[in-house]
Structure formats: C-alpha cells, structure tokens
Structure 1
Amino acid sequence: MTQAIILAAGQGTRLRPITNDKPKCLTPIDGKTLLERQSGVLQAAGVTDITVIGGYRIDQIKALGYQCKENSAFESTNMVSTLFCAESVMNADEDLLICYGDIIYQPENLTKVLETDGEVVLMVDKAWRKLWELRLENPLEDAETLKLTDSKDVLELGKKPKSYDEIQGQYTGLIKIRKDKVKDFIAFYHALDKSVTFDGQDFDNMYMTSFIQQLIDANWEVKAALVHNGWLEIDSVSDLEAYQSLQDQGLLKPFCDLG
C-alpha cells in the first residue's frame, strides 16, 4: 500500500492574480484544478490515502473534502517544514509519496515511481530541456544540477549548474520513501542541526533538494525513476498561459497528455 502527502501550503505569488483568492493547487488548467488532476491520477493507481498540507486559503481545500493538515506558519517556512506538519499521519506500514502541489503527471509516470525500488525514489525527467524551452528563454538559468551514476543513483541535485553537462535530468517534485525507511526519514529530519544553514537557507526554510542532498551525503540510497516528459510544473502565470495555448492548439500532448 502507498499513502500520499501533497504539499500545498504556499501562497503561489507568481501565479497572481489567479491566486489572489485561492491556493496554488486550485489553479485550473484546461478546466480542472492541479489538485483535482493529481489526486485523480493517484486514486486511479490505488493511492487513496491522500493528505493535503495546506496553509494559504486552506479553507477552500477542506471544503472540497480532502483530508488536511495545516502549516500555520506557511508565510515564513518552506516545503520541508510543510512536509513535517503531516508527520503524525506518516505511516511506516506504507510507502510514502511526497508530491508538490503545483505539478501534474501522467499515470505512467506515477507507475514508474511506484515500481522503482530504492530507499528514496525521485521522478527525474531526462527530456526536461524540451519542457524548459517552452517556459523560458534561457533554460540553464532556471534548471538545477542533477548527477547520476550508471545504476541510476542520484549523487547531486539542486545546485546552480555552470553548463548543461551538469544536468543529467531534472528533479520534478515527486518523491517516494520506502515504507521500511519512513521512521528513519522522520528521525533524520529531527536530527539535523537547526543552527546551520542549508544552501543559504535556515532550517525552517530549507529547500527540499537540500534535504534530499543531506540524505545522499549520509549514504542513503536515492534512486532516479527516469521519465521522458509526461508531467508539468505550473509555477507562474506565463507557465499556465504557455501550456493552455499549446493545449488549445493540440500541441501539448507530446509533453503531457491532459486527457
């Protein structure tokens, strides 16, 4: 069995004015919200134990009937802090999926993650550059490093790349923790030194990539589930407009099939 936690506490400032009065995960694309699309794919794969961690306008998520946990400090914390607001529901009898609230993905991408074995599994897009070129004039400015071994172990992620050679794929915001490592995952977080900075961020504002890198540096097995597109990140109004325009023209399907 697998449970899922969707991280959806942020204000989505880059999606304003769309998010002036709604959480980012309730942004619609082609008639369905990001949360509706992601939860639908999860449920179709048999992942029905879903918790959404809200913050900004959590009332709207609760009103839709989702099981929720709250990050009341969403204005002053980042994703890792948000994740552990749901620590009480993390079940060591199930694999744990951690899902960013501003992504959507096709069923086959989720299947790839579920079927890949590793203490930690990351969905990694090998064809990321095609998608980034849709969104950005200079993909290298926005991309992050990701280095892999031949056996698909992740060695590094989340750094600022100097060239495309340092990017063997792009981390996508979908993570799986194997059930026998869930308790250790929680303990690892609490054992971190809260007085130091992580890639320039304090403990409460640590990036998820920084936390994963801490696991890698501590010799955790972090595996890549390699995909070739089949997902979208909606981070800004320009992202949303670009994807919707391609969808309207019938050109989005090679990147992600919205069904």
Structure 2
Amino acid sequence: MTRVLILAAGEGTRLRPLTNDKPKCMVPLLGTSLVERQIACLKRQGITDIHIATGYRAEQIETLGYPTSLNPRYNQTNMVSTLFCALDFIEQEGDLIIAYGDIVYDDINLTTLLESDGEIALMIDKKWRDLWSLRLENPLEDAETLVMNDAGYVTELGKKPENYDRIQGQYTGLIKISADKISDFVAFYKQLDRNASFDGKDFDNMYMTSFLQSLIDAGWKTKAALVNNGWLEIDSVDDLEEYESLAKQGKLDKFYKV
C-alpha cells in the first residue's frame, strides 16, 4: 500500500496577490487547483490514502475533506519541519510518497516513481533545461546541483552550481520512501543536531534538499527516478501566466498534459 503526504503549509508570497486569500496549493491552474490536480493524478494510480500538511489558510485545505496535520509555526519554519508535523501519518504502514504542494505531474511520472526501487527514490527531470529555459533567461541562476553515480543513485543535490557539469537533472519535489525504511527515516530526523547549520540554515529552516543530502551522506541509497519533462512547478505569477499562455496555444503538453 502506498500513502501520500502533500506538503502545503507555505504562504506562497511570490504568487501574491493570488495567495492573499488562499494557500499556494489552492491556486488554480487552468481552472483547477494545484492540489486537486495532484489528487486526481494519485487517484488514477489507485492511491487514495492522502494526507495534507497545512499551515497558511489551513481551513481552506480542510474543506477538501482529507486528513490534515497543522504546522502552527508555518511562517517561522521550512518544509522539513512541516513534514514532521505529520509524524503520526508518516509512521503508518506502507510506502510513503512526499509531494510538494506547488507541483503538478503527469501520470507516467508518478508511475516511474512508484516503480523505482531504492530506500528513497526521487523524481529527477533529465530534460530540466526545457522548463527552466521557459521560466528563466539564465537557467543556471536558479538550478541546483544533481549528481548521480553509474548505478543511478543520487550522490549530491541542492548545491549552487558554478556550471552545468554537476547538473545531471533536477530534483522535482516528489519523493518515495520504502515502507521498511520509515522507522529509520524518522529516527534519522530525530537524531539530527538541533544546533547545527544545514547549508546556512538552522534546524527549523533547513531545505528539503539539505535533509536529503544528510541522508545520502549517512549512506542512504537514494535512487533517481528519471523522467523527461511531464511536470510543472508553480512558484510565481509569471510561471502561472506562462503555463496558461502555452495551454491556449496548445503547447503545454510537452511539459504537462492538462
């Protein structure tokens, strides 16, 4: 059995004014909210055990009818803290998918992740420059390092690259943890030094990539579930307008099939 935890606590400040009165995951893409698009994709793959970690405007997400866990300090912490506010759900039985609340993805991408082995699997976009070039004049400015070994396991991610040599793909915000590693996953988080710095951030504000890198550095086998486009990140109003413009031109399917 596979379960899904959607992380949807953030305020989405770069999507204002659209997020003045709604959480980021409730912003519509072509008439349907981001979180509802994710849920529809999950259900098409037979996944119905869905939990949402909330924060900003949590009451609106609660109206969807799915179990939720609240991060009451959502405006003072980062995504990893939000993740472990849903500890009771994390510790239940079955494989666990962790999904960012501001992404959407094609069915085939989700299937690729579900079929991937490894203690942890990450959805990695090999053709990431297509999407980054659409959103940014210089893709390197916003990209992060992603290095894999010959066996297809991620060895480095989330650093600031100096060139394209250490970017073999981009991490997309979709993670799968195998059922037999859930207890170890939780234990690893609990034993982290609360006073340490994680890529320049304190414990409460560490990036998800910093947490994943810590696991990799500790010897966790982190498999790359490789995809070619088939997903979108909605981080700003410009992103949203670009995607909707492409859809009207019939050109969005390369990146995401609405």
Q: What is the TM-score normalised by the length of structure 2?
A: 0.99
What CA distance in whole angstroms lies between the structure 1 residues aligned with 2:80 and 2:153?
Answer: 22
- The gaps in structure 2 that reach 5 residues or longer are none
Q: How does 1:40-55 map to 2 (within 5 A)?
A: 40-55=40-55
What's the CA shift for 1:205? Answer: 0.2
Q: How does 1:112-123 map to 2 (within 5 A)?
A: 112-123=112-123
- Which whole-Å deviations, capped at 9, do the CAs of 1:159-200 have from their partners, x for residues lacking one? 000001110000000000000000000000000001011000
1:214 corresponds to: 214
Q: Report the residue type matching 1:85 in the other structure.
A: C
- 8 Å contact kept, 1:92–1:183: no
Q: How does 1:4-19 map to 2 (within 5 A)?
A: 4-19=4-19
2:152 corresponds to: 152
1:136 corresponds to: 136
What CA distance in whole angstroms lies between the structure 2 residues aligned with 1:161 and 1:54?
Answer: 32
Q: How does 1:1-259 map to 2 (within 5 A)?
A: 1-258=1-258
What CA distance in whole angstroms lies between the structure 2 residues aligned with 1:71 and 1:93?
Answer: 22
Question: 2:200 is paired with a residue of what secondary structure?
Answer: coil
- 8 Å contact kept, 1:92–1:180: no
What CA distance in whole angstroms lies between the structure 2 residues aligned with 1:152 and 1:216?
Answer: 13
What's the CA shift for 1:92? Answer: 4.7
What CA distance in whole angstroms lies between the structure 2 residues aligned with 1:17 and 1:25?
Answer: 14
Question: 1:193 is paired with a residue of what secondary structure?
Answer: coil
Question: 2:220 is paired with a residue of what secondary structure?
Answer: coil
| Stretch deviating more after TM superposition (64-73 or 195-204) | 64-73
Percent identity at matched positions? 62
Q: Report the residue type matching 2:142 in the other structure.
A: D
- Which whole-Å deviations, capped at 9, do the CAs of 1:146-170 have from their partners, x for residues lacking one? 0001111000000000001110000
What CA distance in whole angstroms lies between the structure 2 residues aligned with 1:255 and 1:165?
Answer: 24
Structure 1 residues 30, 224: closer, same or farther in 2, change over 3 A? same
- The gaps in structure 1 that reach 5 residues or longer are none
What's the CA shift for 1:29? Answer: 0.6
What's the CA shift for 1:91? Answer: 3.8
- Which whole-Å deviations, capped at 9, do the CAs of 1:37-95 have from their partners, x for residues lacking one? 00111111111110001100000011121211100100000000000000111245200
What CA distance in whole angstroms lies between the structure 2 residues aligned with 1:39 and 1:91?
Answer: 21
Question: 2:19 is paired with a residue of what secondary structure?
Answer: coil
Q: Report the residue type matching 1:231 in the other structure.
A: W
What CA distance in whole angstroms lies between the structure 1 residues aligned with 2:180 and 2:77?
Answer: 28
Q: Report the residue type matching 1:148 in the other structure.
A: M
What CA distance in whole angstroms lies between the structure 2 residues aligned with 1:82 and 1:157?
Answer: 21
- Which whole-Å deviations, capped at 9, do the CAs of 1:73-124 have from their partners, x for residues lacking one? 0000000000000011124520000000000000000000000000000000
Q: What is the TM-score normalised by the length of structure 1?
A: 0.99
What CA distance in whole angstroms lies between the structure 2 residues aligned with 1:208 and 1:90?
Answer: 16
What CA distance in whole angstroms lies between the structure 1 residues aligned with 2:92 and 2:225?
Answer: 22
- 8 Å contact kept, 1:56–1:74: yes
What CA distance in whole angstroms lies between the structure 2 residues aligned with 1:256 and 1:91?
Answer: 32
- Which whole-Å deviations, capped at 9, do the CAs of 1:181-237 have from their partners, x for residues lacking one? 000000000000010110000000010000000000000000000000000000000
- 8 Å contact kept, 1:152–1:224: yes
- Which whole-Å deviations, capped at 9, do the CAs of 1:124-163 have from their partners, x for residues lacking one? 0000000000100111000000000111100000000000
What CA distance in whole angstroms lies between the structure 1 residues aligned with 2:90 and 2:255?
Answer: 32
